[in-house]
Structures are given as C-alpha cells and as structure tokens.
Amino acid sequence: MLGRTIVAAASALAIAFSALVVQAADKKVVVAYQTDALPSSVAIADGGFVKATGYDIDFRKFNSGAEIFAAIASGDVQVGYVGSSPFASAVSRGLDVKAFYLASISGVDEALVVRNGSGIEKLEDLKGKKLAAAPVSTDHYQLLALIKSLGLTESDVQVLAIPQPEIVAAYNRGDINGGFVWDPALTELKKNGKVLITSRDVAARGAATFSAWVATGDFAKENPDFLAKFAGVINEKYASFRNDKASWGAKGENAKALSKLLGGTPEQQASALNNLNLLTPEQQASEDWLGGGEASGAAKILKETSEFLKNQGKISDVLDSYAAAVTPTAVENKTN
C-alpha cells in the first residue's frame, strides 16, 4: 500500500512538474524593437519588462518597422515597436495586429535633414534634389506627403527608399542631398547639415504619424495580462521621464543604459529623448487616440495613411475601418 502511495505521489508530482514546464514554455515571447531612443527601452536593458511580466522575453533589434512586420507575418515575432506607415500597410494587407500602446506621436525626433552645400535653404529648393528615407517607414510616408503638399511629384524629387545605415553612408559620400530619418541617423546627418522640416511640421500639413507597440491578434487575445503589465512598465518609465528629468540627463544611468543598448553616446541618447512627443496613459486611452474605436485618432491616422499609400501605388486596398487594429485595454492596465 505504501509503495502504491509513493508511486501515486511521485506520479502526481511528475504531472505537476510537467504542467509547470508547459506553462513556462507558454510564457515565451519574441519582442522586436528599433534604435529609437525611448524611456521604455531602459526596461529592455535593465530587465524591467521580464521582471514585471514573468515571461521569458527574447528581445530582437530591427532596423525598420517593415522588417518587423515581415517577422510578425512569418510568426517569428509576437510583439513589436513600429511606425504608423508600415503598420497601416501591414493591416491593409490583412495582417492581424493591434496597437496597444502609443510610444510617441509626430514630434521633432524625426526630421528631414539636408546636407551642407546641397543648395537647399527652403522647401521649394527640394525640386530636382535626391532624398532618402527608410522603406515603408513613417519617414518615407511623410517625405512623400511633404513632396505632394509642395505640388511636386517623385519625378520632380528623386526619393530613394533605403535602410537608415545606407542613408547615412550615402549622405556622407554626397550621393544624396538629404534624408528623412530618426536617431541615431538623425544625429549623424545633422553633423554636416541642418533640419529643414520635422515630423511635427509635416503632421501639421495633414500627414500625422505615430509609433506604437503592437501585438498579433492571437497573442493579444491569449495574453492580455502580459500586455497590461508590459504597458504598465512603459507607463512607469514615461512617468519617471516626465517627473524626474535629472535622472534622464546625459550623466544619468538611464542615458548610459540606452547608449549601451542602442548605440551612440549618453549625450546623444539624452538629447534624443527630449525630442519625443509623448502621450500620458490617460490621453492614450481617450477617444482621441486608442479608445474611440473607428473615430479614434490612431484608427483615423491608419486609414488616412493607407489612403495615401494606395494613391501612391504602395498598397492595393484600403479597409473600411481600422478600429480593430487599436485597443485601449492594455494601457488602461486591464487584463480582460
């Protein structure tokens, strides 16, 4: 009898252990990020996201949102940081993803920089010039929208869609006259040039953008607690950045952590952070951004961007509504 009891107990323990192993395996997620300076990126560097969520997170760095969406489409990535233009393109093509946190909106952290000696002093001087932006990025979208707003076409201004590292190299060689970029490329281009117009300025001309954390539809449905805790960590970092500027300065540990993770110097990272246009959790959850369904700001920007991309021949279809691609649940820290 005792032997049977021991065997039964051992079997129960084995089953329980197996269940724990399966549960642990289920708590794995691949999260894609980019080189943008964000307060939340410190939580990648210091393990804050892992500690808060309890998940085994494989953070992978990408050069663009287009690359991230390709990885999401292949099933390699479940959560990613992307811009609204590649986001709109992906959703329009049928990819099931949801924005659960707006990392930033159009600001001065993305801009068109023109090279010294290029002969470009004002926007009207862009005619006949050669410019570049990362393919299917918010910068690419805004550069094309800017050109259109000036009454010019891509035959008037040559636009190269190339990755940011190639933009920096081409700019330094003198092969292009300017580039619409974000950091660290933004800082590099400004060393031998000037900002002609910022993302915020282009948004005021009718081409607003945002960057967001997105999750696949299946992952969002099955892991609401993860997204809520992930958003909670971002909230904490953003609140710290707003309320304790000293700790985010060039000599602080946060800037040093970003420098180690993303490259560049702590001074460059601290400067880049101050260029961001951030929303509070309350603003994000409001009807103006994530909480308004079809009328939400994020959904409207996605549709407007898609309509522009279709007119440009970049995509073939525009959805009737982009409401399904945004959700305020996580930023409100709701788990169901």
Q: DSSP characters for 210-221?
A: EEEEEEEHHHHH
Phi-psi domain of 327 (left: phi exceeds 0; alpha: psi -120 through 50; beta: other):
beta
Q: What is the CATH number of the domain that holds 198?
A: 3.40.190.10
Which one of 178, 204, 230 terminates a domain? Answer: 204
Res 24: pLDDT: 44
Same domain, 221 and 73: yes
Same domain, 74 and 133: no
Neighbours of 212 (CB within 10 A): 27
pLDDT tens-digit profile of 48-92? 999 999 999 999 999 899 999 999 999 999 999 999 999 999 999
Q: Which are the contacts of 271, defined by CB distance < 8 A and separation ≥ 6?
A: 187, 250
Which one of 177, 204, 231 terminates a domain? Answer: 204
**Pick the residue with more confidence: 2 or 125?**
125
Same domain, 250 and 189: no
Question: Which has the closest alpha carbon to 186: 228, 231, 132, 135?
Answer: 132
Same domain, 44 and 125: no
137, 140, 146, 147 alpha-carbon torsion, rounded to 10°: -160
- Asked whether residue 334 carries a pLDDT value surpassing 80, the answer given is no
Res 26: pLDDT: 67
Same domain, 143 and 77: no
**By CB neighbour count within 10 A (0-12 exposed, 13-18 middle, 19+ buried), where does 138 fall?**
buried
pLDDT tens-digit profile of 210-259? 999 999 999 999 999 999 999 999 999 999 999 999 999 999 999 999 99
Look at the chain and report how many structural domains it folds into: 2
**Domain residue limits at 217:** 7-106+209-325
Same domain, 97 and 30: yes
Query: pTM of the prediction?
Result: 0.85
In a domain, 334, yes or no: no
Task: Tell the residue number behind the tokens 């540990």, with chain if given.
Answer: 253
Q: Which residues pair with 102 in a beta bridge?
A: 212
- Asked whether residue 7 carries a pLDDT value surpassing 50, the answer given is no
> Mean pLDDT score of the chain, rounded to an integer?
91
Separation CA 132–CA 162 (nearest Å): 7
Question: Which has the closest alpha carbon to 143: 312, 310, 278, 307?
Answer: 312
Same domain, 171 and 56: no
Q: What is the mean pLDDT of residues 139-156?
A: 94
Same domain, 213 and 86: yes
pLDDT tens-digit profile of 275-309? 999 999 999 999 999 998 889 999 999 999 999 99
Residue 138 confidence class, pLDDT cut points 50, 70, 90: very high
